[in-house]
Structures are given as structure tokens and as C-alpha cells.
Amino acid sequence: IFEEEYGVELDILYAGTGIALEYGMRGDVDAIAVHSKAREEQFVAEGYGVERVPFAYNYFLIVGPAADPAGIKDMSPEDAFRTLYEAGSSSFISRGDDSGTHGKEKAIWASAGYDYEAVRTAGQWYVEAGRGMGPTLLMASEMQGYTLTDIGTFLSYKSELELVPLVEEGEILLNVYSVIAVSPESNPDTNIEMANNLIAFLTSPRIQELIGNYGVEQYGMPLFIPCAGAEPQS
């Protein structure tokens, strides 16, 4: 739709948040869409981005085998992580790829009172996949372990998994997606006009409605909730 309206060809690079931010810093892209608020704010504060504009959100989940051998069901995210760490007997599969999801995992460990470096070297129960969310979910399913995932990817892969949502509530599980135009002051080659057009497009009523309906027919619920430039509250 965007390409037709603006007469351009979008060159979309798929990457985790860490790599996407690097693309923006180097000026390899005109805009980035990411989901790690603190790092986005730093990106803007350091002059690489113009403004952080939220356009959709969903939630993270902690998923695991239905038998739930660690007994974390319905705990807070922090208590679930504490239980997994203290038991050290059930596998936890981390994306381990510097993505927004990996950043959220680190934030939960910190909120639970743990140093992340101590966690990642705590034992064989902690596994770093170094891969995207889909492959990480498949690995967790195969190992009958636990992992942190966004709800959208979980629903997309659900039919291939022997995993169920176990922890679904907690303020820290809010997952906000934002779009940021790369600053022409830090990267003069930025097509700032088209980057701003993309932001206006993503936050327009018509596209926000499409975002809000995406996934409903296939999964019975939307994969994302539109928020049109406003910061959602958990």
C-alpha cells in the first residue's frame, strides 16, 4: 500500500533491535521499526534518530511445556525467572541475539534481582539460541523448555509447538513497537521526507485499523494493538 501511494520501492531489512539500531547509526536505512524503549530513547538522545513514535503494541509471554515441571504458571515474570534460576533443572532458551526480546529478558532478570552475566553462565539449563524468535520457540519446544516470546510470534508458530502460555500478566511484559526516522543531521543521506511519510502512514487511521485487525481471522485475536503515536500503558 505504501509503495503504491508514494511511488517508491521499500527495501525492508529484517533484523533484531540491536542490529536495526546499528543500521540506523550507520545510515544504512532511512527509518527503523523496533521494540526496546530504553535503547530507542538512547538512539534519539545520541542524535541518531529524530523522534520515537509508538505505533503498535502487544505483550510478551513466558511459555513452556504444559506439564510445567518448574511450576511457574501464573507467577509474576520476576518470580518465574527466580524459580527457574533457583531450580536450575528446567531449560530456559534465550534468544541471545541482542534483539528487543533479548533486551526484555535481561530487564526481567534485572527486575528479579539478578546480574545477567551471572545468569547466562549459571549452568547448562540456560541455553542461548542466538537466533530469531521463531527458531527459538521451535528449539524450546523440542527441548521441552521455557522461553520468553512476543505473543504475535507465538500465535504464528503455535500449531508447530508443544508449548503453552504460562505467565501472561505483569507490567514488565508490555511490548511497544516504535518507528524512528534516522536523523539527517547524523546521516545526511537520509531520505527524511520519505521516512516521515512512512511514520505518517503507520500512524494513520486507515493503517491503524489494518494493524488492529491483523491476525483476527486466522488466530481469533489481533497480533498487535494499534496506538497511533501514543505511549500505551500496561
Q: What is the pLDDT of residues 95-123, one digit of tens each?
A: 999 999 999 999 999 999 999 999 999 99
**What are the backbone dihedrals phi and psi of residue 50, each rounded to the nearest 5 degrees, phi first?**
-80, -55
Q: How confident is the model at residue 231 (pLDDT cuts 50, 70, 90)?
A: confident
Instruction: In whole angstroms, give the CA distance from residue 180 to residue 178.
Output: 7
- What pLDDT score was predicted for residue 234? 63
Q: What angle do CA 153, 40, 84 make, to 5 degrees?
A: 50
Across residues 34-57, what is the average pLDDT? Answer: 96
Judged by DSSP in three states, 200 sits in helix
Strands 126-128, 92-94: pairing is parallel
What proportion of the chain, given as a percentage, has pLDDT over 90? 95
Burial class (CB in 10 A: 0-12, 13-18, 19+), 209: exposed
What proportion of the chain, given as a percentage, has pLDDT over 70? 100
How many CB atoms sit inside 10 A of residue 222's CB? 18
- What pLDDT score was predicted for residue 232? 86
Instruction: In whole angstroms, give the CA distance from residue 166 to residue 150.
Output: 13
Instruction: In whole angstroms, give the CA distance from residue 76 to residue 147.
Output: 15
Across residues 88-99, what is the average pLDDT? Answer: 95
Instruction: In whole angstroms, give the CA distance from residue 17 to residue 14.
Output: 10
Phi-psi region for residue 229, left (φ > 0), alpha (ψ -120 to 50) or beta?
left
Instruction: In whole angstroms, give the CA distance from residue 206 to residue 6.
Output: 16
The chain-wide mean pLDDT, for the chain, equals 95
Structural domains in the chain? Answer: 2-57+174-226 (3.40.190.10), 58-173 (3.40.190.10)
Q: How confident is the model at residue 233 (pLDDT cuts 50, 70, 90)?
A: confident
pLDDT by residue (tens digit) across 5-40?
999 999 999 988 999 999 999 999 999 999 999 999
pLDDT by residue (tens digit) across 153-171?
999 999 999 999 999 999 9
